Amino acid sequence: MTHKTARIVFMGTPAFAAPSLDALIKAGHEVIAAVTQPDKPSGRGQRNQSCPVKELATQNNIPVLQPAKVREEGFIESLRGLKPDFIAVVAYGKILPAAILSIPPQGCINLHASLLPAYRGAAPINWAIINGEKETGACSMLMDEGMDTGPVYFCERTPIEPDETAEDLAKRLSLLGAGLLARTIGLILEGGIKPVAQEHEKATNAPILKKEHGRINWNNEAQKIADHVRGFYPWPGAFTSWKGLLKVHSGRATQEDTQGIEPGTILEAKDTIKVACGQGIYEITELQPENKKRMNAADFVKGYRMQKGDRLV
């Protein structure tokens, strides 16, 4: 028995979306176009850099569309002209208008990196880690005009590992989600599944990350700070101040008693940097002074003469 295939327009931009495009190609679907955000200048020369989805599409001879605005009439007309059965959307980065949602007869299918209705929005992976969740996952859903509010086909769960950063978890979820998206589209074509409405009253949000979100509040307990550092890695990065800005790349929380010690006080500066928190100690293992290379804590302590009793703010 041969499995059914479809004409699909794929919309996605970052590395997270590329495995999903790859999975649809390998499942034998006809991917008739890839839509990505416009190229952005990057690096020292500020040359325009192709995003991962554009690179993968180009390697597979798939035409690439990069509209500046998703509501452009010319772009919407070109999508209509492609006559897709589905539009598959993974981390595209823009909310789609009704004029696009109504184009494919089988609907616009989105892959979202959370267990909906939790963490709707732009940064679900980061906020799940920052908030100390022990589990997350990915869901396939039929899109409507809201922000991740459409009915859900499938969710797949996975534990969040204790030392996992947002970057680590994104790589895992991108692969888990790619299989989920391909499976969802295959089962829709077989005619066997209907999406189920979300419990909207249980919804939580995962707003877009801003640079200022990265600042560490040493009044928090040590585990919360550890989650903060992991959740904001690699961007925007967790940071604190001591003779200028310091980015904190990695560390660990311990439950030692710090009662009566001012949060942010350095208790030891040797192989690691032990910092008093509102409760417990956060031990910095890797950090980066502003405009310098990242380094381990021992090298930093030697080079910058950090001492016990100094304070991070």
3-state secondary structure string, the chain?
Answer: CCCCCCEEEEEECCHHHHHHHHHHHHCCCEEEEEECCCCEEECCCCEEECCHHHHHHHHCCCCEECCCCCCCHHHHHHHHHHCCCEEEEECCCCCCCHHHHCCCCCCEEEEECCCCCCCECCCHHHHHHHCCCCEEEEEEEECCCCCCCCCEEEEEEEECCCCCCHHHHHHHHHHHHHHHHHHHHHHHHHCCCCCECCCHHHCCECCCCCHHHHECCCCCEHHHHHHHHHHCCCCCCEEEECCCEEEEEEEEEECCCCCCCCCCEEEEECCCEEEECCECEEEEEEEEECCCCCEEHHHHHHHHCCCCCCECC
State residue 280's pLDDT score.
97
Domains of the chain: 7-202 (3.40.50.170), 211-304 (3.10.25.10)
pTM of the model: 0.94
- Please state, rounded to an integer, the average pLDDT across all residues of the chain: 95
42 has pLDDT over 90: no
Q: Which two tokens stand for residue 189?
A: 């074509």
- In tens, the pLDDT along 158-206 reads 999 999 999 999 999 999 999 999 999 999 999 879 999 999 999 999 9
SS3 call for 1: coil
How wide is the angle at C-alpha 227 spanned by C-alphas 222 and 229, nearest 5°? 95
pLDDT of residue 1: 40
Q: What is the pLDDT of residue 223?
A: 98
The confidence score (pLDDT) of residue 221 equals 97
Question: Which pLDDT tens digit goes with each residue over 197-241?
Answer: 999 999 999 999 999 999 999 999 999 999 999 999 999 999 999
Q: Give the rounded percent of residues in the chain with a pLDDT score beyond 70.
A: 97
Please give the average per-residue pLDDT across 23-50, as a whole number: 87
Per-residue pLDDT band for 45 (boundaries 50, 70, 90) equals: low
Q: Where are the beta strands (DSSP E) in the chain?
A: 7-12, 30-35, 40-42, 47-49, 64-65, 86-90, 108-112, 135-142, 152-159, 238-241, 245-254, 266-269, 273-276, 281-289, 295-296
Asked if the model's pLDDT at residue 46 lies above 80, the reply is no
**Residue 41 pLDDT more than 90?**
no
